[in-house]
Amino acid sequence: MYLIIRKLLFLFDPEVAHHIAMWGLKIVNSLGLLCLLPQVPKCKSRVVFNIKFENPVGLAAGLDKNAEYLDILSKLGFGFIEVGTITPLAQPGNPKPRSFRLTEEEGIINRFGFNNVGIDRAINNIKSSNFSGVLGINIGKNFSTPIESAADDYLICFRKSYLYASYIVINISSPNTKNLRQLQGYDFFENLISSIKSEQKKLCKYHNKYTPFLVKISPDTSINDLNNICDIALKFKVDGIIATNTTIKRETVKSNPQHVEEGGLSGKPLYEDALKTQKYIYQRLKKEIPIIGVGGIMSGDDGLNRLENGADLIQIYSGLIFKGHNLIHELCKRIQ
């Protein structure tokens, strides 16, 4: 069934297709038909970051940037959902077109640039939803904020997300916001993580609630920076690492004319680099910090491989676009 739907959706620009798909899901849900979807196979639940996950298959940030579709997405069988990336102020993102589908390679290039409605409206969307599952809130800095002041933007979003998130993700690895990846360098990274950790302690004491925070890293990060990230994460007891964001590399898709488009490449072409980065940080972190594996997971075997190589949980996004809801079933069945 999804193959038919996909053929229709792929007739449109990827960003337009996304809005059509979400609009369609909204209608199907309003008719009560989403409840008729077969239940995903049972997986063994697990506790990560002191949070219980009914299954380890989550939705990565990017699909529901503004937390508008939580009630719908919760019916697809995910073990957890991550929304965002959300910034302090609303921003339109980069000019369109900004998303490009590489159908044969099962990849997507995007340069959205953190288009979102801002943290206040996103939190209102969360508060008005009926979602009661595990919720990650992915936060970033505004495009206009100088890199030297980036920590201020993250702290604003961190404070406003704290009570509503099961966990919070510090996104410092998108290639689509100018200079953002500089935050993975030693000095910027240590200052940012130190500030977030200090704020976490204050908020935990004030609210009597501990909300874990994770850091999302790039597959393009140098070994030197990966070592520094791991050292600082261990030093400040970061709760988790997400490996990885999209890549700016194009070696695997050069035969596609769209490979020249700027932006981050996701989907199947990202898999090996994301896995390589995950394996490296897993060895460096010595099992002291949990990892969420994301990037190019397109099959049950892909997901199992990520879990067998250091990931405690996994996330999908491009795989959902290319494979549909069945991918969640396939992953849960393979993982068990």
Domain harbouring 52, CATH code: 3.20.20.70
Check residue 153 and give its pLDDT: 96
d(CA 24, CA 34) in angstroms, rounded, equals 11
d(CA 284, CA 287) in angstroms, rounded, equals 8
Check residue 161 and give its pLDDT: 98
More confident residue, 81 or 221: 81
pLDDT in tens, 243-293: 999 999 999 999 999 899 999 999 999 999 999 999 999 999 988 999 999
Three-state SS sequence of the chain: CHHHHHHHHCCCCHHHHHHHHHHHHHHHHHCCCHHHCCCCCCCCCEEECCEEECCCEEECCCCCCCCCCHHHHHHHCCCEEEEEEECCCCECCCCCCCEEEECCCCEEEECCCCCECCHHHHHHHHHHCCCCCCEEEEECCCCCCCHHHHHHHHHHHHHHHCCCCCEEEEECCCCCCCCHHHHHCHHHHHHHHHHHHHHHHHHHHHHCCCCCEEEEECCCCCHHHHHHHHHHHHHCCCCEEEECCCECCCHHHCCCHHHHCCCEEEEHHHHHHHHHHHHHHHHHHCCCCCEEEECCCCCHHHHHHHHHCCCCEEEECHHHHHHCCHHHHHHHHHHC
Check residue 234 and give its pLDDT: 96
Domain span at residue 104?
2-335
pTM score: 0.94
**Total count of domains within the chain:** 1
Confidence category of residue 38, pLDDT binned at 50, 70, 90: confident
Check residue 195 and give its pLDDT: 95
Query: Is pLDDT above 80 for 23?
Result: yes
d(CA 73, CA 68) in angstroms, rounded, equals 10
Mean pLDDT of the chain: 93
Check residue 164 and give its pLDDT: 98
pLDDT in tens, 49-62: 999 999 999 999 99
User: What are the residue numbers of the active site?
Assistant: 174
Query: Is pLDDT above 90 for 35?
Result: no
pLDDT in tens, 154-186: 999 999 999 999 999 999 888 778 777 777 776
Average pLDDT over residues 196-215: 97
Residue 179 contacts residue 147 (beta carbons within 8 Å): yes
- Interacting residues of 327 by C-beta distance below 8 A, sequence separation 6+: 298, 299, 316, 319, 320
Residue 297 contacts residue 306 (beta carbons within 8 Å): yes
Count of positions (residues) in the chain: 336
